[in-house]
């Protein structure tokens, strides 16, 4: 599984959010984890976020979502 950090991608398949855009931010300095931003456009203007505590949790989040992401 290839999860890119600080890169926008479009969710092209999965259990939810298909067609939406996603961007993962390394938030180690503030929270020690990762922010997962999701939005309806690639500009990420209307995004909402989720947070996971570490890289293992990030991978699990993507696995549970069943996402296939086309990284732009």
| CA pair distance 12, 2, nearest whole angstrom | 14
Q: How far is CA 33 from the centre of its chain?
A: 13
Query: What is the count of structural domains for the chain?
Result: 1
Q: Quick check: is 22 in a domain?
A: yes
Q: Quick check: is 6 in a domain?
A: yes
Q: Quick check: is 71 in a domain?
A: no
Q: Quick check: is 67 in a domain?
A: no
Q: Quick check: is 37 in a domain?
A: yes
Q: Give the DSSP H/E element, type plus range, for residue 64.
A: helix 55-65
Encoding tokens for residue 17? 């959010």
Instruction: From first to last of the 72 residues of the chain, give the pLDDT tens digit.
Output: 899 999 999 999 999 899 999 999 999 899 899 999 999 999 999 999 999 999 999 999 999 999 999 999
* Residue in the structure block whose two tokens are 């999860």: 3
Please state the pTM of the whole predicted model: 0.93
Encoding tokens for residue 39? 């939005």
| CA pair distance 47, 62, nearest whole angstrom | 17
Domain that holds residue 17: 1-41
């Amino acid at each position: 599984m290839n999860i890119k950090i600080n890169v926008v991608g479009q969710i092209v398949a999965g259990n939810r959010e298909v067609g939406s855009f996603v961007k993962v931010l390394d938030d180690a300095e503030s929270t020690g984890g990762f922010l997962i931003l999701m939005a309806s456009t690639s500009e990420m203007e209307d995004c909402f976020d989720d947070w996971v505590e570490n890289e293992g949790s990030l991978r699990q989040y993507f696995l549970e979502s069943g996402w296939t992401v086309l990284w732009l």
